[in-house]
Structure 1
Amino acid sequence: MDWPNLAAFVAVADHGGFSAAAEHLHLTQPAVSKRIALLEDALQARLFDRLGRQVVLTEAGRLLLPRARQILAEGEAARRALADLGQHIGGRLSVATSHHVGLHRLPNLLRRFTAAHPRVALDIRFMDSEQAYAQVLAGEVELAVTTLGPTEPPLHSTGVWHDPLQFAVAPDHPLARMRATTLADIAAHPAVLPDPGTFTHRIVAQTFARQGLSLQLRMTTNYMETIKMMVSVGLAWSALPQTMVDAQVQVLAVPGVQLSRQLGYVVHGGRTLSRAAQALIGLLQEDSAGGQRKPGA
């Protein structure tokens, strides 16, 4: 059932004839007659009785008329909404992010985004990076902004921030008193790290494994703030993001060893992103192109 045919039907009913409807629609009378015939053929029902020059609705026509008006009204509303979409970005945008990225990388970016697009309803979900990947794959969120790990189609990842990791201990930890530190020295002491299944844990563990070393884990937790607290009170060493290093901890320099991870966004390659998601990605790409911004800067 085509909207132009419905519009012709309503116009004939409203104006009482084919000629008047044709004038209203800026069509020829034969064109209006053809549209009505196509509609009657599609519905398998006669909609008008032609009584000389008078045109009256049949029972089927009277039944259809209010529904046709509703369909046309909804179609016009949809047209206006799509027209508005071309000028204003709105709707709901679901984003998954890790607690660390959400706290240390996103606040200023999200402030800029909400100022530029106040009609967007942000649905931000905090979770582990690996869970964020799964939510993008399942279509539960449009994109994830998180630590990047191995990514396979249909997922696509794009790096935004280079995130160096630093071996860190409490200022009074035995390792802090050593002039030169090796991975073997560090491995001799308990560590606190994210869970073994996380991307960050794998980066650290693989660095030690390449030298035939294993880790002594005091405990694991995926909250980097908790990890930093345990390091700062001397319970363990860890590999902390550079953005979290301050006077509470002491960095260990290990010659020849550099740890780092990539932070960025992940999308599903088989799905069309909303304009809100595209706008957020645009800001992320600006951050990437602008170099490493300091958190809070």
Structure 2
Amino acid sequence: MALNFHQLHIFYTVADKGSFSMAAQALHMTQPAVTMQVQSLEDYFGTKLFQRSTKKIELTEAGRTLLPFARRSIDLIKETDGAMAKFTHMLEGRLQLGASLTIGEYILPRLLGPFRKEYPSISVSLKVMNTTQIMEEIFNHQLTFGLVEAPVHHPDVRTEIVLNDELKLIVPSDHPLADRDVVTIDDVLAHPFILREQGSGTRQVMEQELQRTGIGSDRLNIVMELGSTGAIKSAVEAGLGITLLSPTAVRHETALGIFKVKTIEGLTFTRHFYSIYLQAALLPISAVTFLTFLRERDLNAWL
């Protein structure tokens, strides 16, 4: 029997989780299948890798010796996939991912077109939902990975920055601030403001930057809180207030002269978009290829 990478991956996951049942759940396998693969690896080396008891499992000395080699093999496979993804233009398969609202509605549609031109044999299935729903589907193995607007802090989840964005002041073209060369925060505080709901990534970025400069968000004249970017755009267009949004989200309205995009002097509302997926997962090559595409292309040409 030859040494099998799949068995090394299973061994590492069992050691990492400290449980055959938890490893089976993370790997989307049955517990007997996990146990069988670990036993096959033990047969190959001719030694026990785990000490099993009714309450817990522990690595043997042989298991502790093997562990860093298993980790390195997993990292090497992932690096290999990433390095080769740029050459695999004849890939066939299905790219399944979830994206939070701003990314799914305004960012990804502009990127998936160029991606599909480069990789025409990869079909794309995109679900637009909130971060909590994306996490649930990843843990239930209904999604391979997701793109979200805030980092996810969970021991089983790997988070990586894949895109950068900046919020700007959005005002109607006939607004008093529309033709100002310089807009200050005091100018903004004098006008009705429309925001995303509490807890949204967009609002968190705004509140953090205001706090940094010593301005509480309670100083804003908030007249409306809405649950989607589309609703906010409609309210701003109707003259109900001004807002902070990504220029990407109002590209169409800006081109038509409906909105103007302004910078608030002394303030920078930067944010990151993140990919998230299970630490134990080996992403399919279609997902690796898409993440490599996001990392290595000049995305501004399309956004």
Tell me the distance in 1 between the aligned counterparts of 2:184 and 2:116.
46
Q: Shift of the alpha carbon at 1:195?
A: 1.9
User: Greater relative contact order (Cα 8 A, min sep 6): structure 1 or 2?
Assistant: 2
Tell me the distance in 2 between the aligned counterparts of 1:229 and 1:282.
35
Task: Report the equivalent of 1:77.
Answer: none
Say if 1:94 and 1:123, in contact at 8 Å, map to a contact too.
Answer: yes
The percent identity for this pair of structures is 24
TM-score by length of 2: 0.58
**CA distances 1:69-88 after superposition (whole Å, capped 9, x unpaired):** xxxxxxxxxxxxxxxxx997
Written as runs of structure 1 = structure 2, the 5 A alignment for 1:143-182 is 143-176=145-178, 180-182=182-184
Task: Report the equivalent of 1:286.
Answer: 296
Tell me the distance in 2 between the aligned counterparts of 1:108 and 1:206.
28
Tell me the distance in 2 between the aligned counterparts of 1:188 and 1:120.
50
Say if 1:147 and 1:264, in contact at 8 Å, map to a contact too.
Answer: yes
* Corresponding residue SS for 1:105: helix
Say if 1:157 and 1:265, in contact at 8 Å, map to a contact too.
Answer: yes
Tell me the distance in 1 between the aligned counterparts of 2:261 and 2:123.
41
Task: Report the equivalent of 1:219.
Answer: 224
Say if 1:148 and 1:157, in contact at 8 Å, map to a contact too.
Answer: no
Written as runs of structure 1 = structure 2, the 5 A alignment for 1:3-42 is none
TM-score by length of 1: 0.59
**Paired amino acid for 2:301:** R
Tell me the distance in 2 between the aligned counterparts of 1:130 and 1:201.
17
* Corresponding residue SS for 1:211: coil
Tell me the distance in 1 between the aligned counterparts of 2:160 and 2:300.
15
**CA distances 1:216-275 after superposition (whole Å, capped 9, x unpaired):** 433333432332222233211111212225122233432211112112422221212122
**Paired amino acid for 1:251:** V
Say if 2:247 and 2:261, in contact at 8 Å, map to a contact too.
Answer: no
Q: Shift of the alpha carbon at 1:96?
A: 0.4
Q: Shift of the alpha carbon at 1:92?
A: 4.2
Tell me the distance in 1 between the aligned counterparts of 2:261 and 2:164.
18
Q: Shift of the alpha carbon at 1:193?
A: 2.1
Task: Report the equivalent of 2:264.
Answer: 254
Cα 1:212–1:115 shift into 2, 3 Å: closer
Tell me the distance in 1 between the aligned counterparts of 2:93 and 2:170.
43
Tell me the distance in 1 between the aligned counterparts of 2:226 and 2:139.
25
* Corresponding residue SS for 1:292: helix
**Paired amino acid for 2:222:** L
**Paired amino acid for 1:284:** L
What are the ranges of 5 or more consecutive residues in structure 2 without an aligned counterpart? 1-87
Tell me the distance in 1 between the aligned counterparts of 2:133 and 2:141.
12
**Paired amino acid for 1:201:** R
Cα 1:227–1:116 shift into 2, 3 Å: same
Say if 2:89 and 2:118, in contact at 8 Å, map to a contact too.
Answer: no
Tell me the distance in 1 between the aligned counterparts of 2:102 and 2:291.
19
Say if 1:183 and 1:254, in contact at 8 Å, map to a contact too.
Answer: yes
Written as runs of structure 1 = structure 2, the 5 A alignment for 1:125-136 is 125-136=127-138
* Aligned alpha-carbon RMSD (Å): 3.1
**Paired amino acid for 1:267:** Y
Tell me the distance in 1 between the aligned counterparts of 2:105 and 2:216.
35
Q: Shift of the alpha carbon at 1:142?
A: 0.9
Task: Report the equivalent of 2:106.
Answer: 104
Say if 1:192 and 1:218, in contact at 8 Å, map to a contact too.
Answer: yes
Say if 1:89 and 1:117, in contact at 8 Å, map to a contact too.
Answer: yes
Tell me the distance in 2 between the aligned counterparts of 1:101 and 1:275.
22
Q: Shift of the alpha carbon at 1:116?
A: 5.4
**CA distances 1:113-143 after superposition (whole Å, capped 9, x unpaired):** 4455555453211113453344334433111
Tell me the distance in 2 between the aligned counterparts of 1:121 and 1:172.
43
Q: Shift of the alpha carbon at 1:162?
A: 1.8
**Paired amino acid for 1:262:** H
What are the ranges of 5 or more consecutive residues in structure 1 without an aligned counterpart? 1-85
**Paired amino acid for 2:280:** G
**Paired amino acid for 1:93:** L
